[in-house]
Structure 1
C-alpha cells in the first residue's frame, strides 16, 4: 500500500478537523480566545450559549495539563458519558486553542477546557496568564498528566499558580465578592485541586502504603521538597489510574469530582452571572501586551504577567502595582530609591516639619506666596528672592531673607527626595518650569496697569505739548475731532496726524504720502502730507514715500538746526517742531527694538505644557481661525491657545503653580476639577 493511500485512510479514521464555528454548533462554545478576549457579549449571551438557568446555582470545573495528554477526552468520558462535547483529535498538535466551555446539567457544573501546556503556542505568555484566570474562577481544578512519573514542571506550575493567586488575584476576587454581596471567607476562595495521573507500567502513588490518604501526604511532601506552596488551594488530592489495556478507568476521578462539587462546606454554588462577572473582571484587570524580553523564566506565572508594565524613566524600575491600577485612581509605585535626572528634574523638596509629623507635603520654589497679589509678590521676589510655601505651615523659607548668613533650605526647613518618573506624569515639570512665565506675567501686569492709569494724563500732556511746538498754521489737536479727509471720527486711542502742507488733522490712512513742502519751510526732505495736497503738488515732486524715522534725516536736521541762517529765516516754532519729531522718531525706534527681545523672551519662558504659537491656527474653544490682528492667549490650566472672547475669566490654577487668578479658557473655567 502506498504512502498516499495510508495517509488517506489515516485522515478518514481521524475525521475532518472541525472549525471554531463547527465546534460551537455542538454543546461547547469558545469562551475566551488565544488573545484573552471574551467571546460572549454579556451575561444573557453567556447563559444562552451554555443553556443553563440564571437562577440555577452552579460550580466551575477546569482542567489543565500538557498538550496531547488527553484533557478533552477525559472531560468527555468523565462528565458527558463519552459524548464528544469537547473536540478531540489524534494529532500530536494541540486541538484546543483558547478556553472552551460546556454545561453539565447533572452535576450543575460549568466545565472549562483549556489549551495545553508545553505546546508550540505563538503567545506563550498570554496563554499562561489566561490559564491562571481560568483557575481563579474555578471551584475544582483538575491537573491531568499522562506520565509514568510526576514531573517537576507540574509541581512548579501549581506552586507558581498558588503564589500568583494569593498575590495578584485575591484582592480582585475579594472586591468582586464584596460587590456581589457574597458572604464568603477569603480562605475559601481558592479552588480544590485534583492531580489525575494516568500510567501504563508504573505503580501509582501511595499504592504501597496502608494508611488512607497516604498519596495526598506524599504529594504535599513533594511540593515541600521542591520549595513550592499550595496555600491558595482549598485542598490537593491525588487520583491515579493504571491503563494497561484501554479503555481508561475514570470512575475514581468521577467519584472525587462529585464529592468536591457536592461539598458545600467550603464553597457554595453561585449563580452563573457571578461566574461571568468574575471572569470579566479578571479579564479587564489583567490584560495587555507582555514583552518577552522582560519576562523572567524562574516561574510559570512571573509578576510581569500581572503587574503594571510602566517603568521609571529615570532608573528603569518597574511599577509594582497591578495591571490597569490607574482605573482605580492609584498612582504608580516602585520599591527602592531612584536616581536624579536633570532633564526630568525629579528631585522634590518635602516640608521637614510635616514629614516629621507623618505627612508628605511637597513644596516648590515660587516667585510669590499665595497670599501676595501680583504687585506685592513681584516686589518681594525682587527684594527677597524665591519663596518656599507649605500648604500646612505657610511660608517656610525665602532665598534672600537675611541677605547674609542665609541657611540652605535643605539643611533647615526641607527634606530633599528623588522621586520616580513615570510616563505621562508631569508633576515635576509643571511647578518648576513656569516661574519665568510668572515673572513675565507680573511685569506685563504692572506695565499694563501703569499704561492704563497713566494713559489719560499722558495723552493730555502730549496733546498740549504738541500744540505748543506746532507751527501757527497747524490746527490745534483739541479742535480735531474727525479726519479732514474721510470725515471719520477719531477714537480715543487713535493718533492724529498733521498735513505739513495744509495743517489739517488726518488719520493714518489719509496721510500715507510724503513730499517736500518748501513753501511751508519743509524743503529738501519729504514730509507727511494728506492725499489732496499730495495730488496738488505731485507734478512738482516725486512723491516717494520715505519713512518718518529715517536716520539720515536726523543728521540732516542736526546740521539744519545748527545753521545760523535757518535760525534767522525759519519761524522758531518750526524749529521746535522738527526737534520734537526727531525725538519722537527716536523713541519709536527704541520701542521697536525693545519689542523684539520681549517677544523672544515670551517664547523662551513659556511652560512646556503650553502649545507653541506656531502650532495654534485656530481657537481651541470656538475653532475660529486666528488672523494677524487677532491675539492668541494661552489658558494657564490646559495650555491651549484661545481667543480673547473664549478666555475672559480668571481663576487660580494651583495644580500648574498659579496661586493668583490667571487667564483660563471657558472650558477650564467651567470645569473646576482641572484647576
Structure 2
C-alpha cells in the first residue's frame, strides 16, 4: 500500500475520531456581540481539545449565499454538516460559530453573511472585525463571475480599522500572556477563494505578469485601499461548470499557510479565547448614531468612544470603554468657550512654571475673609483668585487702579472640553448661587438690627467707599439739598453727578451729560438746580483731572448697586423658589425632604430643613449643629455640616 494512501487513511481516522466526539459547531458569539462561552474550560470542552494543543485560527467571510458554511464542511469535514447550511437564499448563520479540525489543528470560525438582513448592521460589521483580529488565516469566499468592489472595500477597510483600533489591544493581550511574538506584529494571512461558472479565473492567462496576486494588489491600489494589515494576500480560483465544487486547491493553500510559522506561530487555544474576550470587553458599546457615514465598512464610530464635548461637539478620540481603565476623555480638536458650561479654566502661572497645574476659580471672597465682609467686598470690588499654594494672587478691584488683566499676568487660561459626567473642574462654581443666597441671608440677619433695610444700608456704605471726592458722604446727608425734606430711615439718597449733593428722588429726576465731571458719553442723574443752569461751575474742570480713579470706581459701583437691587427683589420672592434656583447639583431638592436623614424625625412647618454642605442630604438642627469649611465642595468658610460628615473630617 502506497504512503500517500496510508496518509489519507490516517487523516480519515483522525477526522472520524474527532467527529465522534463533537459532530456539530457551537455558537461562540451571538449577533449582539455577546460572547456565549464565559470560561476557558467551557471553550476547550466545546472544541474537544486541551490547552496543551497548539492551534491556529481560520475564519471565513463573504456575502450571504456564497457558500461559506458549505466550504468549511466540504474542505475540512468531508461534507458532513458540522456548520449548518441551507438551500434557500436566506442566511442560516447568525453570529459566529466555531468548530475544531484536528488534522490541521485549526479552530474554524464561520461568520454571518455580509448581505444578510439585520437591524444591527453596525454591530455585525464590528463583530466580523473582532473575529478577523484573532485569526491567523482569513478566507474571503465569493461565488461570482467577477470580483466585485465590495470585496476590495471590505478587506481594505478591515485592514485599516485593524491597524488603527485593534493592534494595541492585541499587543496588550500578548504581553499579558507572555508571548514572544506579539499577535499584532503581523496580521493574518488573506486567502481570496473565488469560484466562477462561465468566466476564467483570475491570473490564468500566462501573459499576466505577477499572476493573480499582482492583479489583486493593483485593484486595491486603484480603489485607494491598502492590505497592510495582512501578512500575505493570495488568490485561489476554481471554475465549476458541473457540480460539485473542487476544493482541493483551496485545501492545499490552507495547509501551506497553517504550516508556515515564519510570521505567526501556533498558540494554546486559551490565548485565542482571551484575545477574543478582551476585544469583546473593549469594543462592546451601543452604536446608535444613524448619521454615521457609509463610505467605509468600519467607520471610527464603531470602535471609538461615543462621548462628545457638550461645549463644542467634538468627539472623544479614545477607544471604547476607556473610562473603565481610568483613562480620561480627550480630543485633538480645540474646544471653544461656552458660558453655559464655564469651561475656561484658569491655571496659576507661578505653579505652572514650577511644573504644577493648579486651577483657580473666581470666588466672591478669599478664605481669609469673613463671609459678610467677603460678599460685601465682592459686590463692589468683584472677584478674588486664590491659589492653594500661592495664596491670594489677584483681586479684581485692583484693576480700577491700573493693574493688568489676570490672564496676562497671574494666570494662564485653558479651554477644556466638557465631557458628560466628567465636569469636576466646574465644582468650584457649581454652588456659586447658593453661596450668594447664604451671604444675602447672613447680611439680612447681621444688619436687621439697624432700622435701614439691609441692602440699602450696604448700598450707602459702598457708595461712600468709592465715591468721587466732590460727593457729599451719605453719613452727612440728613435732608434733601433742594427741598430740605428730611430723609426717612431707609429712604434712597441720590447724588447729583454735577454738584455732588444729596437729593431725594423728586428733586433729582432729570438726566443730562456732565462732561466737565467726566460723564460725557451717557446722561446721568442731576439735581433740578444743575439741570436748569446747565451744570456750569467754575473750577469743576480743574477737579475732573484728579477724580478719574474715583469716577471709574463709581461707574462700576453703580452696576453693583443694580445687582443689589436685583438681590433685594430676589429676597422678596418666596424663599422656596430662590432656594430651588440656587440649589447645587448634589443637594437633595427641598420637596424631597420629608424627614431627617439621620434621626428620621419628620419635617413639619416648625422644624427647619438644613442641607449638609458636604453630602447634600437634609437634616434637622440637632443632627447638623456644627459649622466647618468644606473645600472639596467649594465652601472655604465654615458652613453647616451634618454630624456624620463632621466625624469624617478627612473627607471634607
Do they fold alike, i.e. is TM over 0.5? Answer: yes
Within the alignment, does 1:43 sit opposite 2:20 as a pair?
no
User: Is the CA contact 1:344–1:428 (under 8 Å) kept in the aligned structure 2?
Assistant: no
Distance 1:373 1:269 in 2: 73
> Which of 346, 362, 377 matches 1:349?
346
Name the CA shift for 1:597/1:201 in 2 (closer, same or farther; >3 Å).
closer
User: Is the CA contact 1:188–1:234 (under 8 Å) kept in the aligned structure 2?
Assistant: no
Name the CA shift for 1:339/1:278 in 2 (closer, same or farther; >3 Å).
same
**Residues 268-417 of structure 1: matches in 2 within 5 Å?**
268-353=265-350, 360-370=357-367, 385-391=382-388, 393-401=390-398, 403-417=400-414
Larger Rg: 1
Residue 120 of structure 1 aligns with which residue?
A: 117
Distance 2:104 2:615 in 1: 59
Name the CA shift for 1:356/1:635 in 2 (closer, same or farther; >3 Å).
same
**Residues 159-238 of structure 1: matches in 2 within 5 Å?**
159-185=156-182, 187-209=184-206, 214-238=211-235
Residue 612 of structure 2 aligns with which residue?
A: 635
> Which of 43, 54, 58 matches 1:57?
54
Distance 2:587 2:176 in 1: 42
Distance 1:331 1:440 in 2: 34
Distance 2:155 2:372 in 1: 69
Within the alignment, does 1:32 sit opposite 2:9 as a pair?
no
> Which of 573, 580, 586 matches 1:609?
586
Distance 2:428 2:213 in 1: 62
Deviation string for 1:470-521 (max 9, x for gaps)?
Answer: xxxxxxxxxxxxxxxxxxxxxxxxxxxxxxxxxxxxxxxxxxxxxxxxxxxx
Q: Shift of residue 31 of structure 1?
A: 1.2
| Secondary structure of the structure 1 residue equivalent to 2:308 | coil
Residue 79 of structure 1 aligns with which residue?
A: 76
User: Is the CA contact 2:310–2:417 (under 8 Å) kept in the aligned structure 1?
Assistant: yes
Distance 2:151 2:354 in 1: 51
User: Is the CA contact 1:345–1:428 (under 8 Å) kept in the aligned structure 2?
Assistant: no
Name the CA shift for 1:91/1:597 in 2 (closer, same or farther; >3 Å).
closer
Mean Cα deviation higher: 165-174 or 389-398: 389-398
Distance 1:395 1:119 in 2: 66
| Secondary structure of the structure 2 residue equivalent to 1:401 | helix
Distance 2:244 2:294 in 1: 38
- CA RMSD across the alignment: 3.5
Name the CA shift for 1:60/1:650 in 2 (closer, same or farther; >3 Å).
farther
Deviation string for 1:564-609 (max 9, x for gaps)?
Answer: xxxxxxxxxxxxxxxxxxxxxxxxxxxxxx9998787655543233
Distance 2:67 2:153 in 1: 21
Distance 1:314 1:371 in 2: 34
Q: Shift of residue 227 of structure 1?
A: 1.0
| Secondary structure of the structure 2 residue equivalent to 1:365 | coil
TM-score by length of 1: 0.68
Distance 1:239 1:624 in 2: 81
Distance 1:273 1:660 in 2: 58
Q: Shift of residue 351 of structure 1?
A: 3.4
Q: Shift of residue 337 of structure 1?
A: 3.1
Q: Shift of residue 25 of structure 1?
A: 8.8
| Secondary structure of the structure 1 residue equivalent to 2:290 | helix
Unaligned 5+ runs, structure 2: 1-20, 449-570
Name the CA shift for 1:600/1:245 in 2 (closer, same or farther; >3 Å).
closer
Distance 1:240 1:298 in 2: 29
Residue 146 of structure 2 aligns with which residue?
A: 149
Distance 1:666 1:274 in 2: 53
Q: Shift of residue 30 of structure 1?
A: 1.1
| Secondary structure of the structure 2 residue equivalent to 1:395 | strand
Deviation string for 1:185-239 (max 9, x for gaps)?
Answer: 3653521111111112222222224799632232222212211111222222212
Distance 2:179 2:622 in 1: 55
| Secondary structure of the structure 2 residue equivalent to 1:135 | helix
Distance 1:419 1:409 in 2: 19
Q: Shift of residue 141 of structure 1?
A: 0.9
Residue 458 of structure 2 aligns with which residue?
A: none
Q: Shift of residue 415 of structure 1?
A: 3.5
Within the alignment, does 1:435 sit opposite 2:432 as a pair?
yes
Distance 1:100 1:622 in 2: 59
Mean Cα deviation higher: 660-669 or 179-188: 660-669
Name the CA shift for 1:88/1:159 in 2 (closer, same or farther; >3 Å).
same
Distance 2:109 2:239 in 1: 25
User: Is the CA contact 1:165–1:232 (under 8 Å) kept in the aligned structure 2?
Assistant: yes
